[in-house]
Structure 1
C-alpha cells in the first residue's frame, strides 16, 4: 500500500508541476502579446510624431513666407503713402 501512495503522490506532484508549467506558459504568451501591442503602439506614436514634425516644418515655412510678404506689403504701402504725400504737397 505504501508503494500505491508513493505513486499517487508522484502523479499528484506531476499534475501540479504540469499545471504550474501551463500557467507559466500562459503568462509568457500574455507578456509576449502585451509586448507586441506595446511595440505596435510605439510605432504608431513614432509615425504620428514624424507626421506632426513634418506639419510643423511646413507651418513654420508658411509663417516665414507670410512674414516676408507682410514686410514687402508694408514697404510698398510706405512707398505709396510717400508718393501720395509728395503729389499732395505740390
Structure 2
C-alpha cells in the first residue's frame, strides 16, 4: 500500500505562509495494480472458453457411465460367442 500525504500549509503556493486546512477537497484515488485486472480478465476469458467447450464436447457423468456399461456388455457378448 502506498501512502500519499497532503502538503503542509507552508508548502502550498499562494498561501502566504498562513495556516489553513490543506486537505484535498476530493478524495485521492488508490493506486491500482493493473496486473490484478489483467489476470482477472484472463480468468474470466478462460472460464467462458471452458463453459463453451463443456457445451460443445462435454458429457454428463451418467452419459459416460452408460457408454462404459454398453461397451463392457458388448465386449462380454462378443467373448461369449467366441468359438474355440
- Decide: shared fold, TM above 0.5: no
More helix by share: 1
Higher relative contact order, chain-length normalized (CA < 8 Å, sep 6+): 2
Smaller-chain TM-score bracket: 0.3 to 0.5
